[in-house]
Amino acid sequence: MTSRDAASSSELEQTLQAVDDGLEAALARLFAFLRIPSISTDPAYATQCQEAAAWAAKELVDLGFSATVHATPGHPVLVARTDSGAPRRVLFYGHYDVQPVDPLNLWHTPPFEPRMGETEDGRHTIVARGAADDKGQVMTFIEALRALKTTTGHLPVDVTLLLEGEEECGSPNLPSFLESHAAELKADIALVCDTGMWDAKTPSITTSLRGILHTELTISGPSRDLHSGLYGGAARNPIHVLSKIIADVHDEQGRVTIPGFYDDVVEPPAEILARWKALNFTPESFLKPVGLSEPAGEQDRLLIELVQSRPTFEINGIYGGYIGGGSKTIIPATATAKISFRLVADQDPAKIRAAFEQFVKARLPADCQFDLATGEGARAFMVPPESADLTAASAALKAEWQVEPVTIGSGGSIPVVGQFRKLLDLDTLLIGFGLDDDRVHSPNEKYDLTSFHKGTRSWVRILEALA
Rounded Cα distance, 220 and 233, in Å: 17
Query: Measured over all CA atoms, what is the biggest interatomic distance in the chain, rounded to whole angstroms?
Result: 93
The residues spanned by each domain of the chain are 3-209+380-466, 211-265+311-374
CATH code, residues 3-209+380-466: 3.40.630.10
Looking at 363-448, list the stretches that DSSP marks H as alpha helix, in order from N- to C-terminal side: 388-401, 415-424
Rounded Cα distance, 255 and 261, in Å: 10
Find all residues with CB under 8 Å of 99, minimum gap 6, and list them.
Answer: 39, 41, 129, 130, 133, 168, 441
Rounded Cα distance, 422 and 333, in Å: 41
What tens digit of pLDDT does each residue of 320-340 get? 999 999 999 999 999 999 999
What tens digit of pLDDT does each residue of 198-226 get? 999 999 999 888 988 999 999 999 999 99
Q: What are phi and psi of 332, to 5 degrees?
A: -70, 155
Number of C-beta neighbours around residue 62 at 10 A: 11
Q: Quick one: pLDDT at residue 289?
A: 87
Q: Quick one: pLDDT at residue 412?
A: 74
Q: Quick one: pLDDT at residue 5?
A: 61
Q: Quick one: pLDDT at residue 364?
A: 98
Q: Which residue from 167, 354, 357, 94 is spatially nearest to 245, judged by alpha carbons? A: 357
Q: Quick one: pLDDT at residue 1?
A: 56
What tens digit of pLDDT does each residue of 279-292 get? 889 999 899 988 99
Positions of the chain with pLDDT lower than 50, given as ranges: none
Question: Is residue 274 classed exposed, middle or buried when 0-12, 13-18 and 19+ CB atoms within 10 A define those classes?
Answer: exposed
pTM reported for the whole predicted model: 0.83
* CATH 1.10.3720.10 is held by the domain 211-265+311-374: no
Q: Please report the beta strands in 85-197, taking only residues with DSSP state E, as ranges in sequence order.
A: 89-95, 115-118, 124-127, 158-164, 189-192
Question: Is residue 70 classed exposed, middle or buried when 0-12, 13-18 and 19+ CB atoms within 10 A define those classes?
Answer: middle
